[in-house]
């Protein structure tokens, strides 16, 4: 499970980086808005997905999924998978239970399911950005 946990973390970090680079090319206006809102602080996946949701590239459902993934990553990276609050998160039909002060427990395929979700949603986002760019050029 340790290996898949780190693959999940690395996957989100890589997508965060690549989304910034992609926006520089396909929609620099969105990136400029994010930079302005962040007042030139570092740009993270949360601010990218928030702006992409605001302008319509990301649906409500997909946005909620991204926020769930970001919360899981934050808990795993910064708190050794020990949530600071109790709550239930959902990723489609996957139920993730955060219990305050107790390490997150899951089946062996948990992070594999998260990685699969990330890749599918990233693909949809990239397709939307590219489709929009190509429709603008024509």
Question: What range does the domain containing 47 cover?
Answer: 2-137
Confidence tier at 135 by pLDDT (50, 70, 90)? low
Mean pLDDT of 4-23: 94
Helices 2-26 and 28-37, axial angle in degrees (round to 10)? 110
Confidence band, pLDDT 50/70/90 cuts, at residue 57: very high
pLDDT of residue 138: 40
Helix (H, G, I), strand (E, B) or coil at 90: strand
Using left for φ > 0, alpha for ψ between -120 and 50, and beta otherwise, residue 90 falls in beta
């Amino acid at each position: 499970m340790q290996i898949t946990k780190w693959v999940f973390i690395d996957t989100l970090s890589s997508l965060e980086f690549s989304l910034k680079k992609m926006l520089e090319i396909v929609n620099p206006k969105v990136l400029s808005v994010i930079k302005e809102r962040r007042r030139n602080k570092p740009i993270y996946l949360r601010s990218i997905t928030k702006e992409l949701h605001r302008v319509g590239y990301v649906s409500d459902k997909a946005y909620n999924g991204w926020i769930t993934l970001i919360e899981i990553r934050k808990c795993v990276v910064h708190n050794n998978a020990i949530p600071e609050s109790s709550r239930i998160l959902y990723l489609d039909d996957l139920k993730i239970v955060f219990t305050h002060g107790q390490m997150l427990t899951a089946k062996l395929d948990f992070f594999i399911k998260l990685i699969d979700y990330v890749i599918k949603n990233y693909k949809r986002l990239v397709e939307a950005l590219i489709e929009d760019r190509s429709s603008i050029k024509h």
